[in-house]
Amino acid sequence: MRKFTKPTWLAISWLSLMMFFAIFGWALPFKSWNFVYEDDLEVGLFSNGHILGTDSNGYDLLSSIVAGTRMSIFIAIAAVGLGGLIGSVLGITAAYVRGKVDTVMVTIFNVGLSVPNLVLALALVSVLATNVDINQAVPTWRRVMVLIMSLTIVLIPILGRIARGATLSWAGREFVTAARSMGMRDRKIITKHIVPNVLPALIAVAFLAVGVVIIAEASLSILGVGIPDGASWGGMIARGRNDLEYAPHVLYVPIFFLALTVISTNHLGDVVRAQLDSREAKV
């Protein structure tokens, strides 16, 4: 393994911390994120045992952040994982089979890409995650599922195209022809020769996609179709907007976490990309 640069180590450390929050956040000695500290409304950073302060509801921001990390990271990984899986299956198949299948798939991808991401997600969430009876709250899990689904749909054509492009270039290599001439089955050629070579390119883009999804989730929350009341970074930003004048930290804290996470995933995406390029250059 090559030595990483300092920024890369920073990005890895930050994402590790976020993963720790997401997985082991429940074990940290916090009260529930929505426990109301009635005596400490809108206190600043590092006050009264609230490292990141509280907001106007009296919620502790650190425990909100930890809970929000879980939600944001879960949504991001689930959406990118599902989108990547479906997208790569479709993309790889299309590029390997070629012909009509490919034409149809490319058309579908292009149509998907031409619809603005946020508009699509917004439409899906507002149709699928609302109740006829306005007074009855939509369960959080349902909102989360719909959110993941809509983001997945947005990601499929993006990752699918990447997978298709990479497959096209690898399937043309002579070792694939060689495998065929040895009598290898197509299914096995795909799993053994195509997928492992396409994967690095997909992983590089998946890192970028995680960042995109985190921001998309936040944007949807700000537009009011995110996780209702649930702690997510987007939800915190949405709530913090109202306090900007009196307690700007309520807004800046989640923004800081979100920004640093997105910068880290983007940076790691670039690192993976660069590793990939240097490996390609050797091949």
Partner 1 sequence: MLVSDRGGVVMAGSGTAHMRNTVDSVLTVRDLTIEFRVAKDKIVKAVSGLSFDVIRGETLAIVGESGCGKTTLARAVLQLPPPNSGEVVLDGTDLTLLPKENLRSARTSMQMIFQDPISSLDPRMTVHQLIDEPLEIWDRGTRAERDERINNLLNNVGLEPELVLNRRSYEFSGGQCQRISIARALALDPRVLICDEPVSALDVSIQAQILNLLQDMKDQFGLTMVFISHDLAVVKAVSNRVMVMYLGKICEVAPPDVLYAKPAHHYTRALLDSVPIADPTRQKKTELLQGEPPSPMNPPSGCRFRTRCHAASVRCAEHEPELQEVAPGQFVACHHPIV
Stretch that binds partner 1, among 76-84, 86-94, 153-161, 176-184 (CB under 8 A): 176-184
Burial of 92 (0-12, 13-18, 19+ CB in 10 A): buried
Binding-site member from 184, 203, 263, 276 for partner 1 (CB under 8 A): 184
Nearer to partner 1, 186 or 229 (CB): 186
Question: Judged by CB under 8 A, which stretch of 108-116, 141-149, 177-185, 215-223 contacts partner 1?
Answer: 177-185
Task: Give the residue among 212, 219, 168 at the shortest CA–CA distance from 194.
Answer: 168
| 53 in Cβ contact with 43 (< 8 Å) | yes
Q: Give me the 19-58 binding string for partner 1, x by CB under 8 A, dash otherwise.
A: ----------------------------------------
How remote is the C-alpha of 38 from its chain's centroid? 35
Asked if 174 touches partner 1 (CB under 8 A), the answer is: yes
Question: Between residues 31 and 279, which has the closer beta carbon with respect to partner 1?
Answer: 279
User: Any idea which residue has 């090559």 for tokens?
Assistant: 2
Report in angstroms how near the CB of residue 95 gets to partner 1 at its nearest. 14
Residues 80 to 99: which contact partner 1 by CB under 8 A? 98-99
CA distances from 180 to 2, 43, 165 (A): 35, 68, 21
Cα separation of 249 and 143, whole Å?
28
Residues 257-276 close enough to bind partner 1 by CB under 8 A: none
CB 243 within 8 A of CB 251: yes
Contacts with partner 1 by CB under 8 A: the residue count is 21
CB of 98 to partner 1, least distance (A): 8
Select from 114, 135, 136, 181 the one that contacts partner 1 (CB under 8 A).
181
Buried b (16+ CB within 10 A) or exposed e, 143-160: bbebbbbbbbbbbbbbbb
- List interacting residues with partner 1 (CB under 8 A): 98-99, 173-175, 177-185, 188, 193, 196-197, 279, 282-283
